[in-house]
C-alpha cells in the first residue's frame, strides 16, 4: 500500500514538472508572437499615417468641394489620426474640422462619416 502512495506522489510531481516545462517552453514562443504582433501593428500604423498624408495632400490639389469618400480609410481611423497628429478645431457630431502639418505645409481638413457605412469623407485645402 505504501508503494502505491509513493508512486502516486511521483506521478503528481511528474505532472507538475511537465506543467512547469510546458510553461518554460511556451514563454519564448508567446513572447516572440507578442513581439511580432506589436511590430506588425506599428508598421500598419506607419503605413496608415503615410496613406492619410498622401490623401490629404492629394485632396488639397482637387477642386471638388463636396469631398471624397475613401473606403480604405475608416472614419474611426481618420478621427484617431486627427486627434493624434492634427489639431482639432471643431467637432459637431460626426463632422470634424482639423489642421495638420505635412512636410512643412499646413492643411485644413474636414472629416465626415459616409452615410450608412464606416468610410471617411475628406476634404482638404492648403492654408
Q: What is the pLDDT of residues 41-74, one digit of tens each?
A: 788 777 778 888 888 888 888 666 667 777 778 8
Q: Mapped to the 3 state alphabet, what secondary structure does the chain carry?
A: CHHHHHHHHHHHHHHHHHHHHHHHHHHHHHHHHHHHHHHHHHHHHHHHHHHHHHHHHHHHHCCCCCCEEEEEEEHHHHHHHHHHCCEEEEEECCEEEEEEEECCEEEEEEEEECCCCCEEEEEEEEC
In this predicted structure, the answer to whether residue 25 has a pLDDT above a threshold of 80 is no
- Counted domains in the chain: 1
Amino acid at each position: 500500500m505504501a508503494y502505491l502512495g509513493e508512486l502516486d506522489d511521483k506521478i503528481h510531481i511528474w505532472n507538475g514538472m511537465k506543467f512547469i516545462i510546458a510553461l518554460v517552453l511556451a514563454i519564448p514562443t508567446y513572447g516572440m508572437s507578442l513581439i511580432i504582433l506589436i511590430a506588425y501593428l506599428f508598421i500598419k500604423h506607419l503605413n496608415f499615417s503615410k496613406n492619410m498624408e498622401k490623401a490629404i495632400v492629394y485632396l488639397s490639389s482637387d477642386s471638388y468641394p463636396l469631398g471624397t469618400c475613401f473606403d480604405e480609410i475608416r472614419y474611426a481611423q481618420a478621427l484617431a489620426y486627427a486627434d493624434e497628429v492634427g489639431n482639432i478645431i471643431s467637432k459637431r457630431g460626426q463632422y470634424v474640422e482639423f489642421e495638420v502639418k505635412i512636410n512643412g505645409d499646413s492643411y485644413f481638413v474636414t472629416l465626415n462619416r459616409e452615410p450608412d457605412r464606416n468610410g471617411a469623407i475628406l476634404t482638404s485645402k492648403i492654408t
